[in-house]
Amino acid sequence: MRAQFRAAAGRIASIELPIVLLGVAPVLLFDAWVPRWALIVALAAIPLLWLVRWMGTGSPVRATPVDLPILILLAMVPVGVWAAAIRPLSLPGIYRAVLCAGLFYAVVGTLTSARRLWTFAALLLVGVPVLALFALLGTQMGGGKFPLADALYDWIPSAIQPFWRPAGLGPNSVAGGLVLLLPLTIGFALGARRPWLRIACTLASLFAGAVLVLTQSRGALVGLALAVVVMFIVWNRWFLLAIPAGIIGGMAAVGALGAAQVGEFMLSGTTTSAVASMEGRLAIWARALAMIRDFPVTGIGLGMFDYLLDLLYPLFDVAPETDIFHPHNLFLFQAVSSGLPGLIALLALLFLLLVLAAKSIRWSQRSEAWPLALGLLGALVAYVGHGLFDNPTSFIRAGSILWILFGLQVALWLHLRGQGQAEDRPRP
């Protein structure tokens, strides 16, 4: 009887990812449209699945090299709730932390074979042009940053009205998701063995890249540019010449236009943005640094940035009713939300993921896994590059994509490590 119960628990653990993606994620992603009892069930489902895995496999989650920083980030969630002056404002942060951790360990725990790994990677590749098409037809784009893009978008019909945002998706959030997934198709366009796959991924990359340009998110474009440079250097070391060329080009732009003009172009927002100029963006960063100085250990609390910004650190050039949900910087957001312990944990997590990505590329040379390893490295670089100027993954939908990719990175590393160990074993 005990063996049958253990086997049943193991079978449930083997399909943890579909359960989380199809059962838990929709509830937490669209919390405003579901009853409270459904939210409670969804939040309880993640630790319950870990308990089931423990019964079936002897461990609540599949062990990874990044468990410690993730544990610290999760431990800072109740601290952030305790520090929040208005507890209901912390609920989105709780949903985001639980779902992202659940997705990460579901990906790592479910993708334990080559067949599952490549099937999931194929689904993500197909999802890139699908997401780009959905974004093209359902995003409220424009803003005057790129006049040519505004003119092109006038010809595209708004054929999709998402039920959670009938006016249209936010271009920055859309860009945050696209810039994370685009490096996957670029990686296969560069390194796939099958010509038809290279051609298909090249077309998908061009289409998704064009949609990304239409969002006019300069932070996302900077992140993608950095990712592409790194990926091309890994693909062919001659592209190292792009680094001095980029530096010279940047210096020439600063010399021709002036540092103030270049900074204004990079940091200014749209006409409807709360951060309408470089001066406004720098002012927000200064307020975020002041918050970190005043609340270094606990942070200001989950979901409290906009509230405390108006109350204690007002922006004199921005109307109080304007919503500014995060400090437009990945690292400042983490430190503000969960203090310096959370920032240190995030830095450790990103460093370890970078190490795993580098090892995966080295171990997968001349194999079918190399394009995926290259694409995941590009996704990590794009995330950090974009995060220097914005932080769309502070919202739960883009954050979910990010942590799925983190889980895929670790799952790929575990798979390649297992392959290497199997090849090194002496044969009888």
| Mean pLDDT over each residue of the chain, to the nearest integer | 86
DSSP 425: S
Contact yes or no for 339/295 (Cβ under 8 A): yes
Q: Give dist(CA 369, CA 376) in Å, integer.
A: 11
Instruction: Specify the pLDDT at position 8.
Output: 87
In this structure, are 56 and 73 located in the same domain?
no
Nearest to 278 by CA among 257, 304, 292, 260: 260
**Percent of the chain having pLDDT more than 70?**
83
In this structure, are 278 and 370 located in the same domain?
yes
Pick the residue with more confidence: 222 or 261? 222
Nearest to 18 by CA among 95, 103, 101, 98: 103
In this structure, are 225 and 320 located in the same domain?
yes
**Domain residues for 8?**
1-60
CA 129 to chain centroid: 17
Q: Is the pTM of this model over 0.85?
A: yes
Contact yes or no for 83/291 (Cβ under 8 A): no
Phi, psi of 169 (to 5 degrees): -65, 150
In this structure, are 256 and 343 located in the same domain?
yes
Instruction: Specify the pLDDT at position 150.
Output: 57
In this structure, are 233 and 294 located in the same domain?
yes
Written as one letter, the residue type at 382 is A
Residue 271 — very low, low, confident or very high, per pLDDT cuts 50/70/90?
very low
Q: Dump pLDDT digits (tens) for 172-183.
A: 888 999 999 999
Number of H helices, E strands in the chain: 18, 0
The tally of domains found in the chain comes to 2
Q: Dump pLDDT digits (tens) for 220-260.
A: 999 999 999 999 999 887 777 767 766 776 666 566 655 55
Q: Give dist(CA 299, CA 80) in Å, integer.
A: 7
Instruction: Specify the pLDDT at position 144.
Output: 54
pLDDT above 80 for 129: yes
pLDDT above 80 for 374: yes
In this structure, are 17 and 152 located in the same domain?
no
Instruction: Specify the pLDDT at position 64.
Output: 96
| CA–CA–CA angle 62, 371, 130 (5° rounding) | 85
**Position of tokens 């003009």?**
261
pLDDT above 60 for 143: no
Written as one letter, the residue type at 259 is A
Q: Give dist(CA 394, CA 373) in Å, integer.
A: 25
